[in-house]
Every structure is written in structure tokens, then in C-alpha cells.
Structure 1
Amino acid sequence: MHNFRNLNVWQKSVDLAVKVYFTTKEFPSEEKYGIVSQMRRASVSVPSNIAEGSAKSSKKVFCNSLETSLGESYELETQLEISKRVGLISEKDSELLENDLVEIQRMINGLKSKIASQS
């Protein structure tokens, strides 16, 4: 069992979720129940699944939670790309969020490998 608050990947993914909230606040109001809702949900799910998995006593279950977290991050990456292509987010803002997201994805994969090797 890990203290999720001490995991750098959890801290960075919470920071990213906050950035997504502030960024999507600027999206048009008609997107509130569309891509805004989806992006916020996916961004919150990344650290939430890390936290949930860290509470499990089984390393396999923790790895499964990290897999889910990784899947949510790819979902968010797709939503960022769509937002950029339809002009809801600037190229610069998209790039900043994507850079954070790629770093988080690497960190999730690294943590998953570390946990799996401890089995």
C-alpha cells in the first residue's frame, strides 16, 4: 500500500486536472455538457484511479488501477486533440497540456513497471 499523496505522478496529475478545469472554463457555454464535461471527467479520473489503486493490498489490483488511469489519460489526450482541431483551444495551450500529459503517462508506465517487478 502506498500513500498516494507522496506519489509524484498523483501530484502532477492533480495539477493537470486543475489546469484542465481552468482551460475548459474558457470554452463556449454550449460545450459545458459536451467536451468540457468529458475532459474534466477524464482529467479527474487519472489521479483518482491512482489514489484508489494505492489503497489496494494487491499489487495486481494497483497495476490494474494504473492501467485505467493510463486509459483515461489517452482519452484526455484525444479530447485535447479534438479541441485543438475545432478551435476550442489554442495550439500553445494544447501543447502545454499535452506535454504535462505525456510526462504523466511515462510516470504511470514507470510506476506500473516498478510495482510489477516487485511481485
Structure 2
Amino acid sequence: MHKVEDLKIWNKAMNLTKQIYLLATKLPLEERFGLASQIKRCAVSIPSNIAEGAGRNSKKEFKHFLGIANGSSYELHTQLTLLIDLNLISENKIKPIKELCVEIQKMNYSLQKSLVNKELNTQY
């Protein structure tokens, strides 16, 4: 339906995923199968669901997959907060990633709203 590479939200989500993968390498080895694995799965889910929705045949289906991506972004945000609370990584290293996560959440909400109101615009 849409060329996913043209969507700013997908590009930002890909950037977020790369940052999460780099962050995961800084976590203690004992977290490799715990939070490190979980944050990577959540991060990958965001651009993956945006892409899957963009490739669907209707705005309704696209909106559904954007909802799943948004849920994953909130899950990721929670896990990043937990990393700070558990003193596994400093807040100053997580803050820019959390800010990008929130930016993607806002873009996602706006994109979902635009799918109801008008044609898709690549500003998202």
C-alpha cells in the first residue's frame, strides 16, 4: 500500500531499534536473556509492525498494526525505566532513547488519526 522507507516514523523506529541493540551490549551479561533480550524484541516490533501495516491493503489494517507498534513502544519505554530503576544503566544514557520513543508514540498517534481523517502523508 505504501513505500515504508518513505515513512519518517518507520525511519525513526529503525533508528530507535539500532540504538536499543547498541544499548543492550552495554548491559550486564546476566541480562542477555532477560531485559536485554526483551528490549530488543520490543524495539524490533515497532518498525516491523509499521512496515507490516504499510504493506496491508487498507487504512483500517494499517491503523491496526500501528496500534500494535504503539503498544510495543510503551512496553519498551517501561523496560527502559526499569533498567534505570534497577541501576543497570544510567539515566543519562537512557534519556535520549526514551525521548525518541515518546516522539515515535506521538507520531504514531498522529498517523493513526490521519488514517481516519485523510490520505496518508509521508510527513509521518
Deviations 1:24-49 (A, max 9, x none): 10101110110000000000000000
The answer to whether residue 82 in structure 2 is matched with residue 87 in structure 1 is no
Q: How many residues are treated as equivalent by the alignment? A: 119
Report the residue type matching 1:16 in the other structure.
Answer: L
Give the structure 2 partner of residue 42 of structure 1. 42
Give the structure 2 partner of residue 77 of structure 1. 77
Give the structure 1 partner of residue 122 of structure 2. none
Give the structure 1 partner of residue 5 of structure 2. 5
1:50 partner SS: helix
Using the TM superposition, give the Cα deviation of residue 118 of structure 1 relative to its aligned residue in structure 2, in angstroms: 2.9
Give the structure 2 partner of residue 116 of structure 1. 116
Report the residue type matching 1:118 in the other structure.
Answer: K
CA-atom RMSD, angstroms?
1.0
Q: What TM-score, normalized to structure 1?
A: 0.97
Listed as ranges, the gaps of 5+ residues in structure 1 are none
Give the structure 2 partner of residue 64 of structure 1. 64
Report the residue type matching 2:62 in the other structure.
Answer: F
Distance 1:88 1:32 in 2: 12
Q: What TM-score, normalized to structure 2?
A: 0.93
Give the structure 2 partner of residue 33 of structure 1. 33
1:13 partner SS: helix
Distance 2:11 2:46 in 1: 11
Using the TM superposition, give the Cα deviation of residue 2 of structure 1 relative to its aligned residue in structure 2, in angstroms: 1.1
Deviations 1:62-94 (A, max 9, x none): 000000000000000000000010011211111
Using the TM superposition, give the Cα deviation of residue 15 of structure 1 relative to its aligned residue in structure 2, in angstroms: 0.3
Listed as ranges, the gaps of 5+ residues in structure 2 are 120-124
Using the TM superposition, give the Cα deviation of residue 117 of structure 1 relative to its aligned residue in structure 2, in angstroms: 1.3
Give the structure 2 partner of residue 102 of structure 1. 102
2:26 partner SS: coil
Distance 1:100 1:44 in 2: 14
Distance 2:37 2:92 in 1: 22
